[in-house]
Amino acid sequence: MKKLFAVCISVISVCSFDISGYAAYTAGSPRSIRVQETQQANFVIEDGTILTKYTGKDTEVTVPPQITKIKGNCFSGDIVSITLPDGLLEIDTAAFLGCAKLESVNIPDTVTTIGFGAFTGCAALKEVKIPASVTNLQAITLFLGCTGLQKAEIACKTETIPSGCFKGCKALEEVTLPDSVQIIEAGAFADCVSLKTVRGRNLLRIEEHAFQNCTKLETISIPFRMQFVHPTAFDGCDHLKETHTKDGSFVIDKVLLAAEPPYPVYQIPAGVVTVMNNALNGSDVIAVECPDSLRYLRSNALSGNYDLLEIRLNDGCKTIGTDAIADCPLLDSLTVPSSVDGIGTQEKSRLKTIAGTPDSAAELYAAEQNYTFRDATIPEPEGDDLTLDYRKDGWAFGNSDAVFGGDYFLLDADRQYLTKHGIDTKDNGKEWSGSCVGLAITVILMKNGIFTPAVLQQDAKTLSDVQPTDAVRSFINYYHCVQNRSGTGSHTSAAQKLYMMSKEMARIPRGASPFLITFSTPDGAHGVVGYGLESGEWTFDGKNYDRRVLIWDSNYPDRLNDDACLYYESKSYDYCIPAYAVHAAKGETESTFGLITVTNDLSALNAEPYPLTLYYEKGDLNCDGKVSAADAVLLCRFLTTQDTLPAGLMQLADLSGDSAVSAADLTLLKQKLLSE
């Protein structure tokens, strides 16, 4: 490999030395000649190359034009300046190693090679320019320990600034990189404590600790095409981070390098084009919203977010890098805009569903990874408005011992059924302390048509018509007992619960179910029904809230009690329920009691369906105490999709016992009617 400098030194003025031996060599003398020791010079020169260390004491050295290469370790001592000749081609490894007093050196435009550590330890060197002629820059530790270096210009077409190249250059203030530079390797500018500006238009990678402890760094070029920035690249660059960070987002040149989101829902700043690798790694965000400007999510950009529930990608996004959403266990679906033309492998993701445009990169990716693909251009089906109406959808009686008595009353058949299935019936000496959860769950099931009021009392048209008979109290307490078997518990944070609920609440008028909400209170715990979401301005205990969840509360069964609603702030997810002294800051920290369960999952709420067959004959679909032609009409309408059979009655319609309702059951029902 060529080296960049070849040095035969002729000291000028009073510090000159005799180079007549070199003249004799060039005139045809023997191929190798040792220069006669003069006052301050001692070199071995061969084929235009200085081979051994200069041991003189001269402070100013001029190298004659015949030298084309300087071998390693050629200079030391008290040299202050060196003038190198045009025609010099190579400066070998460590050529000026330890020249602690060297203040200036010119590198001619003829130099093509500079070796490893060529200027290491040149503590007095103030300024240097690597010319465009250099094609082989072996720059590892090139200027390591040049503590006096103030300015460096690299004009050559190197693609890399290698490890440790400028490490410890404490006086370095400015660096200009050529357009060819794409990579800054590990520790290249570490501990450059005076460095303020780094210019480079085409950087693609900045590796670990590249600018570590550059405490005065103010400006560095970060093209939005940047592909990788190591998370430690700017460790200790406090000034750079302070001047380029707003609302927890560290952004340079439209590139989001890192973020510490102040709120659970993180909005990537407007104008950001690229989210760099690991920018949001390990944050506490529950949702990420992308601006219209975003084009690139680099590899691992959002990885390691264990609370993340949703990413809202923008139209215009182009690429989703490899493992961009790795290790996000709660993120099971992703809607991908048609603008995305590249999706990297997400091997550590928990994705199950990809939504997007047919024949797009999204559909191709879903097929490759065996994900379910959903056509996002088809609107989700809308159902009936399931918003609660106090006049008919809630129990007319409340959660009081005047209704439920002193214990958890259950009909014998219900108690035996629960015991058989290993469910605690709460008759172990405990007094009744509330059936609020049973009341709330049954309201939700009735609203969804799982049961009809007529199942409980034949003439009841609405739930508010139902009177608290023994059968009704047993029905409510049945669901209160099975709550711990229903799967309604959750390990998600309060902010996650509120976020998921607020999204789904908007769909209740279009068919989504109301919610069971349970929370701890000073007196224990309480369960209510959430059925609507409102925006507004409310203040409790000096804190402001801009959302509230409308609540049906069995402690106030006949009216909406404002103080029993759940209020929250849509940025911080601070929340409160004033009537129950529930308060939590930042969603869950500094909490005074708080949320336990938030769910509208009917399969969980009705995981142990009430055993209607204990009280009704199979085939009695209208629950009027007899099997008749009216029941056959109901089943026929259901099978021809003209009507909906309440799911709770499926067990009565399944005459064949095969856990399905089909034409075979209608045949059996007709046979039963004919045999009577």
pLDDT tens string 201-215: 899 999 999 999 999
Q: Where is pLDDT greater, at 348 or 335?
A: 335
Distance of CA 147 to CAs 103, 135, 387, 479, Å? 11, 26, 72, 76
pLDDT of 4 > 80? The answer is: no
CA–CA gap between residue 363 and residue 366 (Å, rounded): 5
Q: Is 479 helix (H, G, I), strand (E, B) or coil?
A: helix
Residue 204 lies in a domain: no
How confident is the model at residue 430, as a pLDDT? 66
Split at pLDDT 50, 70, 90, the class of 588 is low
- How many residues can be counted in the chain? 676
Residue 337 lies in a domain: no
Residues 513 and 628 in one domain: no
Q: CATH number, domain at 626?
A: 1.10.1330.10
Task: List the one residue out of 669, 643, 665 whose CA is nearest residue 656.
Answer: 665
Residue 342 and residue 364 in contact, taking contact as beta carbons nearer than 8 Å: no
Residue 160 lies in a domain: no
How confident is the model at residue 624, as a pLDDT? 76
Split at pLDDT 50, 70, 90, the class of 321 is very high
Q: What is the domain range of residue 38?
A: 1-138
Global pTM reads: 0.78
Residues 537 and 648 in one domain: no
In degrees, rounded to 5, the angle at the alpha carbon of residue 458 between the alpha carbons of residues 457 and 463 is 50
Residues 509 and 582 in one domain: yes
Residues 535 and 584 in one domain: yes
Of 32-36, 437-441, 493-497, the range with the lowest mean pLDDT is 32-36
Name the residue type at position 570: S
How confident is the model at residue 52, as a pLDDT? 66
Q: Where is pLDDT greater, at 599 or 7?
A: 599
Q: Which of 97, 115, 138 is the last residue of a domain?
A: 138
Q: Where is pLDDT greater, at 11 or 421?
A: 421
Residues 503 and 623 in one domain: no
How confident is the model at residue 427, as a pLDDT? 56
CA–CA gap between residue 525 and residue 505 (Å, rounded): 23
Residues 38 and 80 in one domain: yes
Q: Which of 107, 138, 169 is the last residue of a domain?
A: 138
Distance of CA 7 to CAs 27, 87, 222, 380, Å? 19, 10, 39, 78
pLDDT of 259 > 60? The answer is: yes
Residues 508 and 525 in one domain: yes
Residue 590 lies in a domain: yes
How confident is the model at residue 284, as a pLDDT? 86
119-172 pLDDT, tens digit each:
999 999 999 899 999 988 877 788 888 999 998 888 888 899 989 889 999 999
Residue 251 lies in a domain: no
Residues 545 and 670 in one domain: no
Task: List the one residue out of 532, 427, 522 whose CA is nearest residue 480.
Answer: 427
Residues 622 and 511 in one domain: no
Split at pLDDT 50, 70, 90, the class of 400 is very high
Residue 350 lies in a domain: no
Cα of first residue to Cα of last residue in the chain, in angstroms, is: 105
Q: Is 292 helix (H, G, I), strand (E, B) or coil?
A: coil
Residue 484 lies in a domain: yes
How confident is the model at residue 646, as a pLDDT? 67
Q: Is the four-CA dihedral 205, 210, 212, 214 of positive or negative sign?
A: negative
CA–CA gap between residue 649 and residue 533 (Å, rounded): 31
37-83 pLDDT, tens digit each:
333 345 567 778 877 666 666 788 888 778 899 888 888 778 898 88
CB neighbour list of residue 223: distance below 8 Å, 6 or more residues apart: 201, 202, 203, 204, 253, 255
Q: CATH number, domain at 67?
A: 3.80.10.10
CA–CA gap between residue 631 and residue 653 (Å, rounded): 9
Residues 656 and 593 in one domain: no
Instruction: Please tell me the total count of domains within the chain.
Output: 3
Residue 374 lies in a domain: no
Q: Which of 138, 159, 186 is the last residue of a domain?
A: 138
Q: Locate 260 and state its tokens.
A: 């510490």
Where are any strands of DSSP class E within 247-307? 249-252, 255-259, 265-267, 274-275, 287-289, 296-297
Residues 529 and 670 in one domain: no
pLDDT of 533 > 70? The answer is: yes
pLDDT of 10 > 50? The answer is: no
Split at pLDDT 50, 70, 90, the class of 16 is very low
pLDDT of 625 > 90? The answer is: no
Residues 526 and 666 in one domain: no
Averaged pLDDT of the chain:
86
